[in-house]
Amino acid sequence: MNLQPALPITAPIRITVVTVCYNAASTIEVTLRSMATQTYPHVEYLIVDGASSDGTLDVVQRYATHISRIVSEKDEGIYDAMNKGIGLATGDVIYFLNADDSFVDDTVLADIAAVFEEDASRMLVYGNVVYQDAPDGIVYGPAVPFRDSSIHEILHKPFCHQATFARLALFEKTGTFDRSFRYVADYEWYIKAFKADPKSLYQVDRNIANYYYQGRSYTQGEKTRKEKATVFFRHLMSFDMLWYWLRYMKLRGWKKKLFGEQW
C-alpha cells in the first residue's frame, strides 16, 4: 500500500473587523447591517465606542448577535480608539470599518480571506473604495501597485484604511497608529508598513467599501496638509526612499519638473 503524505491542515484566516464610533446613532446602522450580511463565517466584530450619549449603543445592541465585543469608554480620539481595537483583536487580519461607511457587497470578507490564503507572505491587502456624496460614486484606488510606485504615488495616492486589510503581525512589526497625529496617523502607518517590506503589500482590483469621503481629514484640509508634511520629512526624505525619488524623476522627466507641473 502506498501511503500519500498527509497534507498540512491550515486553519482558515480569521478577520477582525473594528468599528470605532462616537455619537453615531444617525449613521451606524448602515455599517452594522453591511457587517451582519457578510457571508464569511470566520469573523470577529468589535465595536469601540467613545462613550456615546446620543443612542448609538441602542442601535448597536439591535445587532448584538453579530458583534463579538462592545467596549464603550472615553478615549483620546479616533486613533486612540483604533489602537484599542488592535489591542483587543484576536484575528489573523484586521480591518477598520467606520461608523458611516459600509461594505460594497456581502462577499468582501470572503474574497479578501481567499487572497490572504493564496500567499502567506501577503501582510497587507488593499483594494478600492467608492466615494459616497461624490458625483457618480467615484471609485478611488492607487493607480499602480504600491511597490511599483514613485514618490508621487506614495505622497498623493496613499492608502485609504477603508480599503485596507492588514495582518496583526504587521502591527507587531511596525507598531500601532501614532497618536501625535490627529488626522493622518493611518497614512503615516502605511508609509511605515511600506518601508518595512513593500513586496508584502498586495493590490486587488476590487471595490471594498462605500466611503463617506468628507471625513475629518477632508474637512480639516489645512491641518491635514501640515501633518502630511511632517510625515513627508520624517519618512520620505530618507535614503531608503531614494529609488522612489529616482523613479519619479525618470517617469516625469526633468523638463516637466523644471516647468513647474504639479507633482
Could you tell me if residue 9 is inside a domain? no
Higher pLDDT, 85 or 263: 85
Contact 43, 14 (CB under 8 A): yes
pLDDT in tens, 83-100: 999 999 999 999 999 999
Listed in sequence order, the residues at least 6 apart from 121 whose beta carbon sits closer than 8 Å to its beta carbon are 199, 200
Could you tell me if residue 260 is inside a domain? no
Higher pLDDT, 210 or 136: 210
Could you tell me if residue 2 is inside a domain? no
Higher pLDDT, 199 or 238: 199
Could you tell me if residue 261 is inside a domain? no
- Cα separation of 81 and 93, whole Å? 18
Amino acid 156: pLDDT: 62
User: What is the full DSSP assignment across 1-33?
Assistant: --PPPPPPP-PPP-EEEEEEESS-TTTHHHHHH
Domain boundaries, position 20: 15-253
pLDDT in tens, 153-205: 666 665 788 999 999 999 999 999 999 999 999 988 988 888 888 788 898 99
pLDDT in tens, 107-134: 999 999 999 999 999 999 999 888 876 5
Amino acid 239: pLDDT: 54
Q: Where are the alpha helices (DSSP H) in 105-206?
A: 108-118, 151-156, 168-174, 185-196
In this predicted structure, which of 3-7, 170-174, 200-204, 240-244 has the lowest mean pLDDT? 3-7
pLDDT band with cut points at 50, 70 and 90 for residue 258: very low
Q: What is the pLDDT averaged over residues 126-155?
A: 65
- Cα separation of 179 and 182, whole Å? 7
Could you tell me if residue 5 is inside a domain? no
Amino acid 263: pLDDT: 43
Could you tell me if residue 139 is inside a domain? yes
What CATH number is attached to the domain comprising 53? 3.90.550.10
Listed in sequence order, the residues at least 6 apart from 221 whose beta carbon sits closer than 8 Å to its beta carbon are none
pTM of the model: 0.83
- Cα separation of 223 and 183, whole Å? 8
Q: How many domains does the chain have?
A: 1
